[in-house]
Structure 1
Amino acid sequence: MSERRWAVGELARATGLTVRTLHHYDRIGLVSPSERTHAGHRRYTESDIRRLYRVRALRSIGVGLEAIAATLAQGDRETLRSVLTDQLAHLDAQVRQMSDLRTQVRGLLERMTTDAEPGEVLAILETMNMIESYYTPDQLDYLAKRREELGEDAIKEVERAWPEVIAAMSAHQAAGTPVDDADVQALTERWFGMIEAFTGGNAGVRESLGKLWAEQGDKLNQQYDTGLTPELMEYVNRANAVRTQP
């Protein structure tokens, strides 16, 4: 018995794909019908259909068409392993981003259960978007991964500790305590230790954080009353210069 040959419309109906999609796969050389009828009509063979189902299988887990083409062209174990490894990393990044987004939305809803007005919550959301604009997509994924590694309890502890550290440092700054004072140096060590926990030592993230505060510090202070005045930051930077000197 000879193999069945499929016209593009028949194959579209059988697979649930559109004719347009099949034509696109043909144009880019991903899945092309390998035979023609006497009248010149193109027909898909069984081997073409097997290739198409491999394409669909890889597309179902989110692999891009270029990566699929490379995988099928090479046809070896290592190429497929590399493509799947890259896809897993991409999916992991999406999971972290969705988890981070979920945390943000949950925080906004918690504010809505208090006396927060809709305008206040929307202003917070606007500020969150502004903050994220200072980081690249890779940096945002890195920060989401850092939060995942630190865990919710550690993050809450840092959030609780920051106001205490800022208040203690502000008191020293207002009193004119020398920046090489032992207590000031201990606070400085704690201050930059918490920043290090946030950035994980990533120089790009640290640079983006610095740019954010340099350009939007006043706005953030007004909205969140952080206490991070220019005078305090100058004091902290002088204390850190003492802390990090050879």
Structure 2
Amino acid sequence: MSEKDAVERRWSIGELARASGTTVRALYHYDEIGLLRASERTASGHRRYTEGDLRRLYRVRALRALGLSLEEIAGVLADSPDDLETMRALLAAQLHDLEDQAGRIDRLRQRLHGLLGKLDDASMPDTDQFMMTLETMSVFETYFTQEQQDQLAERRADLGPAAVEEAKARWVDLVGELLPHVQADTPVDDPRVRDLVSRWDALGSAFHADGEQGERTKAAAQRMWDDNSADLGRRLPWPADQMVALVAYVGRVRQAS
């Protein structure tokens, strides 16, 4: 063992989770799929993470925040070394993303000042002003880039308000038809279930661009749900646990198709 190895810190899985803001469950999952495995084990078999493992976790989290799937991250890590230039490029990409977020925050700040100015003049802001502010807040709070938000907004505009409302109503009907199958644990290869999920996917695809751009916004939406399902579920008119189970069930049906 070198002198460097002798003084290098080691973390247990719980310590690494607390220090990095990552859940223990996520670390176990990263281990299972080979994305991040502890470099060492104690005599009793407990994981011990090294400084190199910590840097790899940072790269995983940073690339995830930049919109890559876990599969894409695995490919990036396999193809790039853990060196200064690679880390410099990653930090530069993160900085660019944060600067985009700062621009969105500044636009939101300006619109909030406008709303407050209206109130100071003893007049209620009009509906369009509130809608613009809410849309900006949505952009800031979601996992989509500004370009992706523009694409989604353009898609909604192309569909038109009537089509959007019709799609919402059809989605409510689909949820109503799928929930009993979730509760009954209907086999995922059941033709009735496959038809419902096919209609679900077709309905969702209408709100995304065609081709690779649409696949990326779909992936971003899935990541947003995966990371915030409990909170997002509470905003829907069904019990949150039912919606979490429903989306997981839909995913299993897709995998089986």
What is the TM-score when the length of structure 1 is the normalising length? 0.45
What is the TM-score when the length of structure 2 is the normalising length? 0.43
